[in-house]
């Protein structure tokens, strides 16, 4: 059961609700977000009506939730959550596009791409500084040096920065240089990392695990939300199936389903989702038609020389063409880009 406190509820009011619930045996999960506080309570529902919680000071609403995920559920909040970062809104009528290279490789590469994706209409720059790579012998990222370049690119272009965080020990460092913390697919169920980003003061982009069910994905978001960080967005990036023509199978029905089950925004990454350059544009169109709130696209000035994921990276020209076709789809579903 979930108790949603009013914006501006007093500490004392919150405390009273908790005490009342604990007295009758509920265990409490307190989620103190920037805007509002939500109290999760696990225990005997049958005595709920007798408690008179809704009459207590500071209480906005009490909701019983059927699903194992609670706070991220539509049942708690029927309207869409809109995440605001500067003047960028994620989850509203505007489609947001995150673009950039798989990995930050050098100042020249990054700044060239950054300017180009900005000119085409992207609002957020993506780029990995810490790279989880299958092989220990592959390029592992520029680490803090890469983060600094990202921050510099932000200053030059005004783009927001999204970059991956991979280790609880470097969350503060990554937060310092970026605007959105990305949890990669391989870390979606790294619960100890989730608990830490829940305490960070930055929005989180939560990629779906390679073989994670929709329910597990929602539960991973619940870890972050229940831990106090209410600015969570999902990112579908393809699941692992038997198919080998594509690198992963982009699951667009999951996009639509998560939008129905949760109030949080959903982004789609067709670059990782397909691993095939010629599929990135049609899948971007399909993603927006399916209800996605944004796109994450790999763009590289010279894909054949990319240090990672060249075969799925677009050239800046291809990216520009993609955006123009996506704009038409956005309009057709009553949104804009």
**Which residues of the shown chain bind a copy of itself in the complex (CB under 8 A)?**
29, 40, 42, 68, 70, 130, 132-137, 166-169, 186-187, 189-192, 210-211, 213-216, 219, 222-223, 226-227, 239-246, 249-254, 256-257, 260, 273-274, 276, 278-279, 282-283, 285-291, 325, 328-329, 331-333
CA angle 24, 28, 29 (to 5 degrees): 165
Minimum CB separation of residue 244 from a copy of itself in Å reads 6
Minimum CB separation of residue 253 from a copy of itself in Å reads 5
CB nearer a copy of itself, residue 15 or residue 211: 211
Minimum CB separation of residue 55 from a copy of itself in Å reads 26
CB nearer a copy of itself, residue 6 or residue 29: 29
Minimum CB separation of residue 221 from a copy of itself in Å reads 10
Minimum CB separation of residue 273 from a copy of itself in Å reads 7
CB nearer a copy of itself, residue 88 or residue 289: 289
CB nearer a copy of itself, residue 80 or residue 115: 80
> Bridge partners of 206?
183, 234
Are residues 260 and 74 in contact, defined by beta-carbon separation less than 8 angstroms? Answer: yes
- What is the per-residue DSSP string for 124-191? EEE-BSS---SSTTS----THHHHHHHHHHHHHH--EEEEE---GGGHHHHHHH-SEEEEPGGGTT-H
Q: Roughly how many angstroms between the first and final C-alpha of the chain, as a whole number?
A: 38
Taking each helix axis from N to C terminus, what angle separates 107-120 and 144-157, rounded to the nearest 10 degrees? 40
CB nearer a copy of itself, residue 99 or residue 185: 185
How far, in whole angstroms, is CA 196 from its chain's centroid? 15
Minimum CB separation of residue 135 from a copy of itself in Å reads 6
CB nearer a copy of itself, residue 96 or residue 281: 281
Are residues 5 and 36 in contact, defined by beta-carbon separation less than 8 angstroms? Answer: yes
């Amino acid at each position: 059961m979930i108790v949603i406190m009013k914006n501006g509820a007093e500490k004392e009011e919150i405390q009273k609700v908790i005490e009342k619930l604990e007295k009758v045996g509920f265990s409490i999960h307190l989620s103190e977000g920037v805007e509002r506080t939500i109290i999760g309570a696990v225990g005997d529902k049958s005595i709920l009506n007798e408690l008179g919680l809704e009459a207590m000071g500071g209480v906005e609403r009490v909701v019983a939730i059927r699903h194992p995920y609670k706070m991220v559920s539509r049942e708690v909040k029927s309207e869409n959550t809109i995440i605001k970062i500067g003047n960028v809104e994620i989850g509203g009528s505007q489609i947001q596009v995150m673009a950039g290279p798989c990995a930050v490789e050098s100042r020249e590469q990054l700044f060239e791409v950054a300017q180009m994706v900005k000119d085409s209409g992207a609002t957020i720059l993506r780029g990995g500084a810490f790279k989880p790579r299958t092989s220990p012998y592959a390029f592992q990222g520029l680490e803090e040096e890469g983060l600094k370049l990202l921050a510099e690119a932000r200053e030059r272009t005004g783009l927001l920065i999204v970059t991956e965080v991979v280790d609880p020990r470097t969350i503060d460092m990554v937060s310092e240089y970026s605007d959105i913390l990305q949890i990669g697919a391989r870390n979606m169920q790294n619960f100890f990392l989730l608990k830490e980003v829940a305490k960070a003061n930055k929005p989180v982009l939560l990629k779906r695990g390679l073989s994670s069910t929709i329910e597990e994905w929602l539960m991973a978001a619940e870890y972050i939300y229940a831990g106090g960080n209410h600015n969570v967005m999902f990112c579908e990036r393809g699941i692992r199936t038997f198919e080998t023509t594509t690198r992963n199978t982009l699951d667009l029905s999951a996009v639509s389903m998560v939008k129905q089950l949760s109030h949080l925004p959903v982004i789609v990454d067709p670059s990782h989702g397909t691993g095939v350059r010629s599929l990135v544009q049609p899948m971007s169109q399909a993603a927006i038609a399916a209800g996605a709130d944004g796109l994450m696209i790999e763009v590289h000035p010279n894909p054949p020389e990319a240090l990672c994921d060249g075969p799925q990276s677009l050239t800046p020209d291809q990216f520009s063409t993609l955006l123009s076709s996506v704009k038409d789809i956005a309009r057709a579903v009553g949104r804009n880009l």
